[in-house]
Amino acid sequence: MLYHALGLIYTYKCVAKCDICGFSCSPERQEKMNFEDAKRLIKEAKKSGIRLITITGGEPFLYYNEIIELVKLAHHYNMQTTITSNCYWADSYEKAEAYCTELRNNGARSIKISVDDFHNKYVSYENIKNVIKASKVVGLRLIVGCTITKNSMQLKGVLNSFEEEITNIGLYQYKCYPLGRAKEKISVDNFYYPKSILDDCSESGCILVTPNGSVYPCASMCGTIPSRLVGSIHNSSLDELICKASNNPHNKFICKHGVEAYLKELNLKNNDEYVDTCHACYEIFNNVHIKDLDNILERIHNNDKIL
């Protein structure tokens, strides 16, 4: 298993309180990564062969000066950075251009912005327009992420709200997971449950650190559960943690084969129950005791037909 990215969930604090938020972020949350720890991780990441630092939250721009220093540091070590934001700060074009310029000048590769019905309750589309325009003017790569439920506007509809030409922009649509606040606020029949989930384990190249320094083996929020915990940055070096995550037999297997074999062994259906592979992975590792999962993996390994 190869790790090419380090994900820093810099904070769970946010200016918004979106219904779809799987981490239940809000203005009341106070958890934030220690700045010195984040700097140390970036220095260590270079030695571990990491090429990309992703900074997410919560809303990382609440700590904008620290984020700029982290971007600068990653650039110094020849690593790229991408920062996720809801754009609350871009309430004028001038501000959007100033922030995008500073990010680009300090070496940020891209900014990923969250745009959908749910975020729009807290952040105006005018802010999004300002960032789309500014990122083009200053030459900062832009990625738009749109989270959807059955009743919400889909990415195509969201983009219709913008006059600007949507060119050279990375566009992604994500199905909302029934986790965190979304589990409380979104009705069960409003989540997308496809007929079968045979998609890959797509976020496995990124080792993820939460604000308190806990480390998880993939970039998906579905992997941030106790049974997937790799360790803590306060007890181990990043290299040790990457080594541990890479050598974990479950991580290795899922990265290569997905979770279908686990579902079969557990006699669970591969349809209607899960949003995607990551959600199935979450349900398996959140509900089945790890000792039982170890036994299941052993049985899977002994089955020549599967491997």
Binding site for ligand SF4 (CB under 6 A): 14, 16-18, 20-21, 25, 57-59, 86, 114, 119, 201-204, 218, 220, 222-223, 254, 259, 277-278, 281
Least separation, in Å, of the C-beta of 23 and ligand SF4?
6
Which ranges in the chain belong to alpha helices (H)?
35-47, 64-76, 93-105, 117-120, 125-138, 155-160, 180-185, 238-247, 249-257, 260-265, 277-287, 290-302
The closest alpha carbon to 203, from 276, 269, 141, belongs to 276
Phi (first) and psi of residue 154, to 5 degrees: -85, 170
Q: Which is nearer to ligand SF4, 152 or 204 (CB)?
A: 204
Nearer residue to ligand SF4 within complex by CB, 79 or 201? 201
C-beta of 145: minimal distance to ligand SF4 in Å? 9
CB of 261 to ligand SF4, least distance (A): 12
- Smallest separation (angstroms) from ligand SF4 to the CB of 95: 18
What backbone phi and psi angles, to 5 degrees, belong to 262?
Answer: -65, -45
Nearest-approach distance from CB 96 to ligand SF4, in angstroms: 17
* Residue 14 or 233 having the CB closest to ligand SF4: 14
Identity (one letter) of the amino acid at 72?
Answer: K
Our CB check for ligand SF4 shows the closer of 20 and 241 to be: 20
Taking the complex as a whole, the smallest distance from the CB of residue 278 to ligand SF4 amounts, in Å, to 3
Asked if 115 and 146 count as a contact pair (C-beta separation under 8 A), the reply is yes
Helices (H) and strands (E) in the chain, counts: 12, 9
Nearest CA to 57 out of 78, 79, 88 is that of 88
Please say which residue, 46 or 119, places its beta carbon nearer to ligand SF4. 119
Nearer to ligand SF4, 75 or 112 (CB): 112
What letters, b where the CB count within 10 A reaches 16 and e where it falls short, cover 30-55? ebbbeeebbeebbebbbebebebbbb
Token match 């990382």: residue? 60
